[in-house]
Amino acid sequence: MGKAMSKSQIASHFADKFGLKKKVVVEFFEELCNVAYKEAPNQFTIPGIGKLVLVDRKARIGRNPATGETIQIPAKKVVKFKVAKAAKDAILGKK
């Protein structure tokens, strides 16, 4: 497995691909993130990649792994990312 691309490398790739300045590409990605954070409670979809979803997690009983003591875990909201089928098929190949 190779090394993950850095933010700078991703910006350079898009800048070269579309003939833009790297600064413009970085600003685009920052604005994409801002919109995603703002719209996550309503689901934010990036076509072909996946979507951010806000999910209510129920209260439950858990166990402290160190002591084995049972504890009450309160209900909370969590952010999940659901990968699109197109992304799964492109990365893993079709079955």
Domain 43-95: what homologous superfamily?
Answer: IHF-like DNA-binding proteins (4.10.520.10)
Report domain extents, the chain.
Answer: 1-40, 43-95
pLDDT exceeds 80 at position 59: yes
Q: Note the pTM of the prediction, 2 decimals.
A: 0.75
At what angle are helices 7-18 and 22-39 packed, to 10 degrees? 110
pLDDT exceeds 70 at position 1: no
The pLDDT-based confidence of 2 (bands split at 50, 70, 90) is: confident
What is the structure's pLDDT at 95? 67
The tally of CA atoms less than 13 A away on the side-chain side of residue 57 is: 11
Rounded Cα gap, residues 48 and 25, in angstroms: 20
Rounded Cα gap, residues 16 and 52, in angstroms: 28
Question: For residue 16, what are the CA distances in angstroms to 3, 9, 25?
Answer: 20, 11, 10
pLDDT digits (tens, 9 = 90+) for 7-38: 999 999 999 999 999 999 999 999 999 999 99
Classified as helix, coil or strand, 44 is: strand
What amino acid occupies position 89? D
What is the structure's pLDDT at 46? 93
